[in-house]
Every structure is written in structure tokens, then in C-alpha cells.
């Protein structure tokens, strides 16, 4: 499982936009996005950079979280 820190989300619409973007990345099996924790948890065999690009293309900032 990969954890991303996601900045810029302010509402449930933002959460859904980030989740949809992550689910479109090839290899993603499951994505959970939390507005309160400002993070996304992603399951699947996927390139972390592809996840970050997908989030950034939606207008948010993302980085791998420790």
C-alpha cells in the first residue's frame, strides 16, 4: 500500500476528484482519500510517480508520505 500526502483539498468534491484520478491510473486496485488527514491510501502495483502526476493534473499537490 502506498500513502500519499495530498494538499489543496477543501471539500468532499475534492476528495472524489482525487479518488477518481487515482482510480484511472493503471494498476490501481483500490484508493481511499481522506480530507481530514489530507492523504490517500492506494493499493495495487503502480508507479508512485504516476499517482502523483494524476493528482497534480487535477490541480492538487501530492507527495509520497513516510
pLDDT of residue 36: 98
Residue 57, pLDDT > 80, answer yes
Residue 61, pLDDT > 90, answer yes
pLDDT of residue 44: 97
Residue 66, pLDDT > 90, answer no
Rounded Cα–Cα distance for residues 27 and 61 (Å): 21
3-49 pLDDT tens trace: 999 999 999 999 999 999 999 999 999 999 999 999 999 999 999 99
Amino acid at each position: 500500500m502506498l500513502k500519499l500526502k495530498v494538499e489543496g483539498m477543501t471539500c468532499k468534491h475534492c476528495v472524489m476528484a482525487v479518488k477518481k484520478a487515482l482510480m484511472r491510473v493503471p494498476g490501481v486496485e483500490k484508493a481511499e482519500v481522506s480530507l481530514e488527514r489530507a492523504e490517500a491510501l492506494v493499493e495495487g502495483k503502480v508507479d508512485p510517480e504516476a499517482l502523483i502526476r494524476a493528482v497534480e493534473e487535477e490541480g492538487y499537490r501530492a507527495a509520497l508520505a513516510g
